[in-house]
Amino acid sequence: MMGYAFPLGAMCAAWFGLALLLCALTLHWLLRSGWAMRLATDVPNHRSLHVKPIPRVGGWGVIPVSVLLTLWAAPKLAPLCLGAAFLAVVSHLDDRGGLSPAVRFLAHFVAAGALVVWYPPAWGAAWWIVPLSIGLVWVINLYNFMDGADGLAGGMTLFGFLAYALAALPADPQLAFASILISGAAAGFLLFNFHPARIFLGDAGSIPLGFLAGAMGYWGWREDVWACWFPVLVFSPFIADASVTLLRRLLRGEKIWQAHREHYYQRMVQMGYGHTRTAQAWYGLMAASVLLALAARRGDLVVQMSVIVVWGFILVACAWRVDQRWAQFNQTKVSQ
């Protein structure tokens, strides 16, 4: 590991720029060479929000850049890189030909369980391994569920891992470097994914990114860099959307792993907000959750819990508003 000869902030900025550049160049080459369409293509169907085939190989830029640069800049996080690389390979096979839900979930549990067993909770409570593994698997799939509109999952990655980086400085420079690298790679991906998207993240991108979001959140908690609520609050807009939507489908007896268009962001696109305005609205929510999380961690327990409760009510209000507009939208369609 290199010595910290430069200010940590300057090093983070340099890592961000390098990751952005390498990811953008990789994706540009894939598009120009024609390899993007050959590797994996998303063909639209009745559940899609796009109307023409789009290559789903954004993960081919984001993940290799993030993993390889993290191994260089933050070698102590090598186990997390191995887990992300493993999931990227399995998920690319899914992008190419489709794997059964059982195989996909088995791979997710292997990566999550191996991490928690390898690095158990610092207090040594072995029974925590199971709920922590399940929580990591949920975050892995959360990213996949929320990767359905132009710029959305890429923006979530940019904001979320930037928050990790800011919170990790100066306590854990390697965690900060790894986080800023992933955020930079996401920025490079967004150059091609913001509406109108020329490339999608694909499962080979969204699944390992979900793993890294959960694994690094767990790592920071385990190493006492931040409290357990911090990563949850950072990603709360997307956790809330995916959790509420999937719970509703589960209560209706539907197969929660099947593609659909019932997430709040999907409804916003269908109601006429479009991909750009929807992404901008979610960026606003994400920025607010990041700023609140960073500010709250400096307060005492009462302040932290108060921020979490108030923000929860705000998210509920936002969801209620979208539900109301969705009901009106459907009534209008029926009347026509």
Q: Please state, in angstroms and rounded to a whole number, the distance separating the CA atoms of residues 160 and 233.
A: 10
Angle between helices 78-97 and 101-118 (to 10 degrees): 180
Q: Please state, in angstroms and rounded to a whole number, the distance separating the CA atoms of residues 67 and 74.
A: 10
pLDDT at residue 122, as a whole number:
73
Q: Please state, in angstroms and rounded to a whole number, the distance separating the CA atoms of residues 165 and 9.
A: 10
Q: Up-side HSE of residue 102: CA atoms within 13 Å toward CB?
A: 0
The DSSP call for residue 269 is I
pTM: 0.93
For residue 170, whether the previous peptide bond is cis, meaning omega lies within 30 degrees of 0, is yes
Place of tokens 């929807």: 278
Place of tokens 């059964």: 100
The residue among 165, 162, 183, 182 whose CA lies nearest residue 174 is 165
pLDDT in tens, the chain (336 residues): 444 445 777 888 999 999 999 999 999 999 999 888 888 887 776 566 666 888 989 999 999 999 999 999 999 999 999 999 999 999 999 888 778 888 999 999 999 999 999 888 876 666 778 889 999 999 999 888 888 889 999 999 999 999 999 999 989 999 999 999 999 999 999 999 998 889 999 999 999 999 999 999 999 999 999 999 999 999 999 999 988 988 888 888 777 667 677 889 989 998 988 889 999 999 999 999 999 999 999 899 999 999 999 999 999 999 999 999 999 988 877 666
The residue among 180, 158, 145, 181 whose CA lies nearest residue 266 is 145
pLDDT at residue 120, as a whole number:
86
Partners of residue 217 on adjacent β-strands: none
Partners of residue 54 on adjacent β-strands: 42
Cα 302 versus chain centre, distance:
29
Residues 119, 124, 125: CA angle, nearest 5 degrees: 110
Q: Please state, in angstroms and rounded to a whole number, the distance separating the CA atoms of residues 198 and 222.
A: 39
Q: Cβ–Cβ contacts within 10 Å for residue 308, how many?
A: 16
Q: Which two tokens stand for residue 226?
A: 């931040």
pLDDT at residue 2, as a whole number:
45
The DSSP call for residue 42 is E
What count of residues does the chain have? 336
pLDDT at residue 49, as a whole number:
66
307 within 8 A of 292, measured Cβ to Cβ: yes
Radius of gyration over every alpha carbon of the chain, rounded to an integer in angstroms: 19
pLDDT at residue 45, as a whole number:
63
Q: Please state, in angstroms and rounded to a whole number, the distance separating the CA atoms of residues 237 and 265.
A: 10
Provide the residue ranges of all domains of the chain, joining segments of one domain with +: 10-335
